């Protein structure tokens, strides 16, 4: 959705002859690109956190399984 807006702004910048209007469009384009970077950074952190949680869970499984097997026999 944001990428479509960026593409539309880039097309509009190319077609606009007015320098003042182009400046405003460049500012909007810059804001949209910054928004995209922010969203990408948040997605990376979410992936890192979930991967860390899964790594902790999977590292505990052998320890728990060992205790369960030892208690059963």
Question: What is d(CA 62, CA 68) in angstroms, rounded to the nearest whole number?
Answer: 10
Instruction: List the chain pLDDT tens, one digit each, 73 residues.
Output: 778 888 888 888 888 888 888 888 889 989 999 999 998 899 999 999 999 999 999 998 888 887 777 766 6
**How many Cβ atoms from other residues are within 10 Å of residue 9's Cβ?**
19
Q: How high is the pLDDT of residue 52?
A: 97
Question: What is d(CA 48, CA 24) in angstroms, rounded to the nearest whole number?
Answer: 37
Q: How high is the pLDDT of residue 71?
A: 67
Name the residue ranges covered by the structural domains of the chain.
2-72
pTM check: above 0.75: no
């Amino acid at each position: 959705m944001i990428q479509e807006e960026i593409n539309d702004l880039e097309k509009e910048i190319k077609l606009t002859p007015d320098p003042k209007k182009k400046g405003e469009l460049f500012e909007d384009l810059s804001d949209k690109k910054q928004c995209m970077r922010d969203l990408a950074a948040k997605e990376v952190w979410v992936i890192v956190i979930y991967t860390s949680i899964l790594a902790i869970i999977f590292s505990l499984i052998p320890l728990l399984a060992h205790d369960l097997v030892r208690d059963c026999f």
